[in-house]
Amino acid sequence: MSIYLQDIPLNEALARFDNALKKASLSGVLGEETVELHEHLVGRVTAKPVWARISSPHYHAAAMDGFALRAENVAGAMPTAPVILTVGQQAAYVDTGDPLPLWANAVVPIENVEALDKDGQITEDARRPHSIRLRAALPPWSHVRPMGEDIVATQLVLPSGHVLRPVDLGAIAAAGHDRVVVSRKPRVAILPTGTELIEIGQPVEAGKIIEFNSLVLAAQVNQWGGEAVRYPISPDEYALIRQRVREAAEKSDLILLNAGSSAGSEDFSAAVVQELGELLVHGVAVRPGHPVILGMIDRQDGSRCPIIGVPGYPVSAALTGEIFIEPLLARWLGRPPHKPIEIEAKITRKLTSPPGDDDYVRVVAGRVGDQLLVAPLSRGAGVITSLVRSDGIVVLPRGIQGIEAGSRVKVRLYRQPEELNQTIFAIGSHDISLDLLAQYLSTYGRRLVSANVGSQGGLVALRRGETHLAGCHLLDAQTGVYNLAAVQQYLPDQKVRILGWVNRVQGLLVARGNPKNIKGLQDLVREDVIFTNRQRGAGTRILLDYQLSLLGISPAQIRGYGQEEYTHLAVAAAIASGRADCGLGIAAAAVALDLEFIPLFEEEYDLIIPSVYTEDDLLQPLFTLAQDEDFRKAVAQLPGYETSRMGRWIL
Ligand SMILES: Nc1nc2c(c(=O)[nH]1)N[C@H]1C(S)=C(S)[C@@H](COP(=O)(O)OP(=O)(O)OC[C@H]3O[C@@H](n4cnc5c(N)ncnc54)[C@H](O)[C@@H]3O)O[C@H]1N2
Ligand code: MOO
């Protein structure tokens, strides 16, 4: 039977896998082991209930330093009618934790008695007096920890399937045990494959990719209670991969075979599984991660080892971990699977979604005013930082083609909901200074999350009340003034303020050594110069058009004017590759790709903030930082940055 990338619904895939696991007797706890309490046990799962062998305390114990006595002997004691007890007969000194003498039924703390010598005078020898005087009565069993106060012998201390925490170890020991029976850790072999992969730390070159999926998968496995074993990178050679899978099956409870899962010429995973056992599933209707493989490998002794073909793209790999590996490990350990906190929120952008798949969208989340909002992050399956930055996942289920901006969605949170109340939302044009700001704000207990939708997108978000601030650098071509006109145009009825932020140098990016000897925009009309442009609407494009009009240059005179890139870095890449001779952009992009930079203009990047939030406690640290020497210095050190306007209210 050949199942070739036929996406099936997630629940159907899980059911097939489940069935095969049951047949192989692999659907419950894999095994048990007894571990001594002082070995590393936190996170392990109890495989048997823990019953108390002894009580704790296992005798009546003094709860205070003082004198053991019988409560009835001091009944009626009052300030004006004190009672005197003779030590050695009616009272005995005890330290906290000492067993109570058999005849006693209460303890009076030492600070509540007057110690007397044999003449009835107050003595300094408080712990060995002749007698003690009490000026208050006390009920029986005062300041005594009765036997079994904590644990009664035979009682259940912990059920099975319990994930051990530090305090649990104390209770197990107090209940008279020195070891505990826990589920055996599932051994998980992780096999990265791909001729293009290089080990971490090796020099990178074009076409080579740093292998890190195995690092992520191993950390996931260990975090979820398994024991990961990373195998070396296997190049895309069928026989080698087959050999390693065969070996791993003999030594492991589960194999994660990474990459080679889709339809490429060197994607061998499915064929290997097919040859060495049974291919159950190839393709699950989830994105990212759809080319998942589920199967069983036959061992020499006739038993079977489950195998998961984990798709190569890093986000797909990590999500495959969460969707397939975590629940399987939970089952093998006998604990409940992880259940994320789910909240409902409003989504800030329209999303389209493949109707055949469950679509896992990474989002940032925060509270703006009284609304909980989520903004989608990059959806590329290769963008590992989208998972790093994400506060949660919105699953757009199969059967829908997308959702409108403003729809309510369910969010599986990666963080505590309270953190969303300390979140400053910045939707608009992104700037590197905001990354620095985020770092500084974290010391004030604030989180800055930003979604880059461009300057105009930020103004739209402000209009909808969906952001605390928007980074903006929109030049008015009539006046040459930044941001004021745009704010008046987009937000005529809204009370907003403009906080001066940074001046950024924009200039021409050219190859090292400036081989075409380009000096300024006037060179763009030269026949031998090829330019590359930014997309219409981008702040840099508006700046270019404005400056060209001042020089009286028409776009038609410029070779490459119609060639549009969407980011500063894409412009830089076009020049680095030799596709173009120059482009307008920021200095940081030149630094990133080792280009030369010809500074030409300063543009003004400001933060637009609704007036209500300028008074809000949430944003105060931002205003503090805008005046902070250290922070301003750090921003000014970014290439091409200047901070003299930072913190000044422009509107
Ligand atoms: N014709 C089709 N092509 C692709 C399909 C498809 O359905 N039809 N699916 C796409 C999707 S979706 C995914 S996901 C990927 C999965 O591909 P593979 O599992 O075969 O993985 P590769 O192609 O080898 O790698 C993809 C990508 O990820 C990088 N990679 C791989 N391993 C690692 C690692 N250990 N650490 C870091 N990065 C890794 C690899 O270099 C590639 O860039 O296929 C699509 N194609
Ligand atoms: O399924 Mo792929 O993982 O969409 O990226």
Report the mean per-residue pLDDT for the chain. 95
Element (H, E) at 168: helix 166-174
Q: What is the pLDDT of residue 103?
A: 96
* Longest pairwise C-alpha distance within the chain: 117
Ligand 1 centroid–CA 576 distance in Å is 26
For residue 49, whether the previous peptide bond is cis, meaning omega lies within 30 degrees of 0, is: no
CA angle 67, 73, 75 (to 5 degrees): 110
Ligand 1 centroid–CA 312 distance in Å is 4
Looking at 124-128, 130-134, 166-170, 582-586, which range is the least confident one?
Answer: 124-128
Say if residue 554's pLDDT is above 50: yes
| Homologous superfamily in CATH for domain 61-145 | Molybdopterin biosynthesis moea protein, domain 3. (2.170.190.11)
Model ipTM?
0.95
Task: Classify domain 10-28+186-333 at the CATH topology level.
Answer: Molybdenum Cofactor Biosythetic Enzyme; Chain A (3.40.980)
Closest CA to 420 of 344, 327, 499: 344
Residue burial 546-581, b: 16+ Cβ < 10 Å; e: rest: ebbeeeebeeeebbbbebebeebbbbbbbbbeeebb
Between CA 371 and CA 466 the distance in angstroms is: 8
Look up the CATH number of domain 341-472. 2.40.340.10
Pocket test for ligand 2, best of 5, 290, 387 (most atoms within 8 A of CB): 290
Element (H, E) at 490: helix 484-490
Sequence ranges of the domains in the chain: 10-28+186-333, 32-57+149-183, 61-145, 341-472, 495-642
**Mean pLDDT throughout 237-242?**
96
Atom of ligand 2 nearest to the CA of 311: 3
Question: Tens digit of pLDDT for each residue in 360-376?
Answer: 999 999 999 999 999 99
E strand spans, 401-456 = 402-403, 408-413, 423-428, 447-452
Confidence band, pLDDT 50/70/90 cuts, at residue 4: low
Say if residue 104's pLDDT is above 80: yes
Under 8 Å between Cβ of 261 and 310: yes
Say if residue 23's pLDDT is above 70: yes
Question: Tens digit of pLDDT for each residue in 384-424?
Answer: 999 999 999 999 999 999 999 999 999 999 999 999 999 99
Q: What is the pLDDT of residue 1?
A: 40
Ligand 2 centroid–CA 211 distance in Å is 18
Residues with CB under 6 A from ligand 1: 5, 192, 194, 196-197, 209, 211-214, 258-264, 267, 288, 290-291, 311-314, 316, 381-382
Is residue 46 exposed (0-12), middle (13-18) or buried (19+ Cβ within 10 Å)?
A: buried
Is residue 644 exposed (0-12), middle (13-18) or buried (19+ Cβ within 10 Å)?
A: exposed
Pocket test for ligand 1, best of 216, 233, 257, 262 (most atoms within 8 A of CB): 262
Question: Tens digit of pLDDT for each residue in 483-521?
Answer: 999 999 999 999 999 999 999 999 999 999 999 999 999
**Helix/strand/coil for 439:** helix
pTM: 0.88
Q: What is the pLDDT of residue 42?
A: 96
Q: What is the pLDDT of residue 206?
A: 87
Say if residue 261's pLDDT is above 90: no
Ligand 2 centroid–CA 312 distance in Å is 9
Confidence band, pLDDT 50/70/90 cuts, at residue 143: very high
**Helix/strand/coil for 191:** strand
Pocket test for ligand 2, best of 5, 213, 293, 316 (most atoms within 8 A of CB): 316
Confidence band, pLDDT 50/70/90 cuts, at residue 3: very low
Ligand 2 centroid–CA 315 distance in Å is 8
Q: How far is CA 629 from CA 115, 378, 380, 539, in A?
A: 63, 34, 38, 29
Q: Whose CA is nearest to atom 3 of ligand 2?
A: 289
Residues contacting residue 131 through CB under 8 Å, at least 6 positions apart: 84, 85, 86, 87, 91, 116, 118, 120
Would 32-57+149-183 and 495-642 be classified into the same CATH topology?
no
Q: Whose CA is nearest to atom 27 of ligand 1?
A: 313
Say if residue 2's pLDDT is above 50: no
Ligand 1 centroid–CA 241 distance in Å is 16
Long-range contacts of 451-455 (CB under 8 A, 24+ apart): 451/348, 451/364, 451/375, 451/376, 451/377, 451/425, 451/426, 451/427, 452/428, 453/349, 453/427, 453/428, 453/429, 454/428, 454/429, 454/537, 454/538, 454/539, 455/428, 455/429, 455/486, 455/539
Element (H, E) at 502: strand 496-510
Question: Tens digit of pLDDT for each residue in 522-540?
Answer: 999 999 999 999 988 788 9
Residue 614 CA from chain centroid, whole number: 29
Atom of ligand 2 nearest to the CA of 286: 1
Residues with CB under 6 A from ligand 2: 287-291, 311, 313, 316, 381
**Mean pLDDT throughout 18-42?**
97
Pocket test for ligand 1, best of 313, 324, 383 (most atoms within 8 A of CB): 313
Tally the residues of the chain. Answer: 651
Q: Find out if CATH 3.40.50.11900 is the number for domain 32-57+149-183.
A: no
**Mean pLDDT throughout 43-58?**
96
Between CA 2 and CA 219 the distance in angstroms is: 33
Say if residue 585's pLDDT is above 60: yes
Q: Find out if CATH 3.90.1200.10 is the number for domain 495-642.
A: no
Ligand 1 centroid–CA 108 distance in Å is 73
Question: Tens digit of pLDDT for each residue in 301-334?
Answer: 999 999 999 999 999 999 999 999 999 999 999 9
